[in-house]
Amino acid sequence: RHLSQESLPKNQFDLTSELKALFLQYFGGNPIIAFAPGRINLIGEHTDYQEGFVFPAAVQFGIWTGVQKNKLPFCRLYSMDFGEEFTFDWRSFSPKKGHWSTYVMGFLAQLKQAGYPFEGFDIVIGGNIPLGAGLSSSAALSVSIGTALSQLFGLNLSPLSISKYAQNSEHQFAGVNCGIMDPYASAFGKKDRALLLDCRSNQHQEIPIDLGEYSLLLVNSNVKHALADSAYNQRRAACEESVQLLQAHFPDIQTLRDLKNENLDEVEKLLPSSLFIKAKHVITECERVQSAAQHLSSGDLKAFGKLMNESHRSLSKGYEVSCPELDFLAEKAWEFPGVLGARMMGGGFGGCTINLIKRSQIKNFQERIGNEYLASFNRQATFISVEISSGAHIILGLD
Ligand code: GAF
């Protein structure tokens, strides 16, 4: 059930009662229901897999998962989004790439590898994360499943374990060597707070978000260019190659996170230019995240917005993960009165830009940018207002 912003009621559209009704219809009984949200990222892109800093927050959209034990040798699944059932033997299963059931089996495979006990269960999954927006619906899906199964089997999994299992599942079964940011934000999110996350220690600081007369608006380009996943993996591999080359000169570094802006001149001499421009993005982005968090804490939204713009330029020109649609949306936003900052968000090659915009300008902005985007790309942009919300939790426990 992916809904566009236009069709969503003002408050969070709650799928709990619909899920309960479907559960009763398909499997009978009262499920435990878990919820896990999607995420935005204020700044800090393509830094998590180099143990750097990121600054995400959970949003009001997410994935609902209902589960109950079934005492059967197989698991019965139902997807509300696809209107489809699926069954597999929980004693012997192998997740297949590209099908929604992979996320259930993928998480279960993590539990199996870690030696946790489980048995047969029924599961219904539904969500309202806008499609293709880059709000991390797959991380939310895994975290929602993990939260529900932890409760069902009394596993007491910590939010960090759930995040790591979700990340590993993505590596093993979706073929994307992603970092920890997306599941972490979904698992740890707090209402009205962004998480300044150190991806080395896997600890965060909560920073209150008080934007005054400004707000966060996402513009969905509604494109997802092919090969985004392989380009993502290539970027990660390029960073790892750079670290190997740089270690001869900087023996103490483990990742690019260990370098600072003041090292850039030396780094440039040690790397081929194609690797240098990418390493430069990661090194400078880590510093931008930390400055941005300080500006946000002290209420300097202008300075914060400037860093968002710099982040976009670096992602587009240096790291080369943007695309014409995202560049167009960011550049148009920079010229728009009342916009303090705009940049592509997430892995890139499509999805959203995130904009820090004066609330009173949103209507004009949507109208003008929407029309210009349509005229240039023959494609509709969609606009999503963000409410920073709580992370994963149990909505309904066992009676
Ligand atoms: C995707 C990945 F899943 C994250 O781990 C992160 O690397 C992000 O792209 C880019 O910042 O969302």
Centre a 10 Å sphere on the Cβ of residue 144 and count the other Cβ atoms it contains.
Answer: 30
Please name the residue whose Cα sits nearest to atom 7 of ligand 1.
46
Active site residue 182: yes
73 band by pLDDT with thresholds 50, 70 and 90: very high
Residue 12 half-sphere exposure, CB side, CA atoms within 13 Å?
Answer: 19
From the CA of 267, how far away is ligand 1's center (Å)? 24
Taking CA atoms only, the protein residue closest to ligand 1 atom 9 is 347
Question: Does 316 show up as a binding residue in the annotation?
Answer: no
pLDDT in tens, 381-398: 999 999 999 999 999 887
Residue written as tokens 């965060």?
204
Q: Is 57 annotated as a binding residue?
A: no
Two tokens, residue 209? 């978000």
Among protein residues, the one with the nearest Cα to ligand 1's atom 5 is 179
Antiparallel, parallel or unpaired: β 74-79 and 121-127: parallel
What pLDDT is recorded for position 1?
36
State the Cα–Cα distance between residues 4 and 44, nearest whole angstrom. 26
Instruction: Map residue 30 onto helix, strand or coil.
Output: coil
173/114 Cα distance (integer angstroms): 17
Distance 68 CA to ligand 1 centre (A): 32
Above 80 in pLDDT, residue 267? yes
* 55, 181, 288, 308, best to mutate for ligand 1 pocket (most atoms within 8 Å of CB): 181
Residues having CB within 6 Å of any atom of ligand 1: 45-46, 48-49, 136, 178-179, 181-182, 346-347
Nearest protein Cα to ligand 1, atom 11: 45
Active-site residue among 14, 81, 89, 182? 182
State in Å: Cα 44 to ligand 1 middle: 9
* Spacing, Cα 180 to ligand 1 middle (Å): 8
Query: How does pLDDT run across 101-153, given as a tens digit for each residue?
Result: 999 999 999 999 999 999 999 999 999 998 788 999 999 999 999 999 999 99
Q: Does residue 157 have a known ligand-binding role?
A: no
Q: Is 137 annotated as a binding residue?
A: yes
Write the secondary structure of the chain as one string of H (helix), E (strand) and C (coil).
CCCCHHHCCCCCCCCHHHHHHHHHHHCCCCCEEEEEEEEEECCCCCCHHHCCEECEEEEEEEEEEEEEECCCCEEEEEECCCCEEEEEECCCCCCCCCCCHHHHHHHHHHHHHCCCCCCCEEEEEEECCCCCCCCCHHHHHHHHHHHHHHHHCCCCCCHHHHHHHHHHHHHHHHCCCCCCHHHHHHHHCECCEEEEEECCCCEEEEEECCCCCEEEEEEEEEEECCCHHHHHHHHHHHHHHHHHHHCCCCCCCCCHHHCCHHHHHHHHHHCCHHHHHHHHHHHHHHHHHHHHHHHHHHCCHHHHHHHHHHHHHHHHHHCCCCCHHHHHHHHHHHHCCCEEEEEECCCCCEEEEEEEEEHHHHHHHHHHHHHHHHHHHCCCCEEEECCCCCCCEEEECCC
Query: 130-139 pLDDT, tens per residue?
Result: 878 899 999 9
Q: Which of 54, 182, 326, 349 to mutate to test the pocket of ligand 1 (most atoms within 8 A of CB)?
A: 182
Distance 380 CA to ligand 1 centre (A): 25
pLDDT above 70: residue 320:
yes
- 34-71 residue pLDDT tens: 999 999 999 999 999 999 999 999 999 999 999 999 99
**Rounded to whole angstroms, how far apart are CA atoms 380 and 373?**
7
Q: What is the residue with the minimal CA distance to atom 3 of ligand 1? A: 178
Indicate if the pLDDT at residue 353 is higher than 50: yes
Q: Which of 42, 47, 48, 176 to mutate to test the pocket of ligand 1 (most atoms within 8 A of CB)?
A: 48
Say whether 103 counts as a known binding-site residue.
no
Q: Is 136 annotated as a binding residue?
A: yes
The residue whose CA has the least distance to atom 2 of ligand 1 is 178
Mutating to test ligand 1, I would choose from 40, 41, 46 the residue with most ligand atoms within 8 A of its C-beta, which is 46
CA of 235 to the centre of ligand 1 (A): 11
**Mean pLDDT (whole number) for 341-348:** 97
pLDDT for the residue 97: 84
Evaluate if pTM is beyond 0.90.
yes
ipTM of the complex: 0.99
Distance 182 CA to ligand 1 centre (A): 7
Residue 47 assigned to a binding site:
yes
Q: In the chain, what percentage of residues exceed pLDDT 70?
A: 96
Average pLDDT score over residue span 79-89: 96
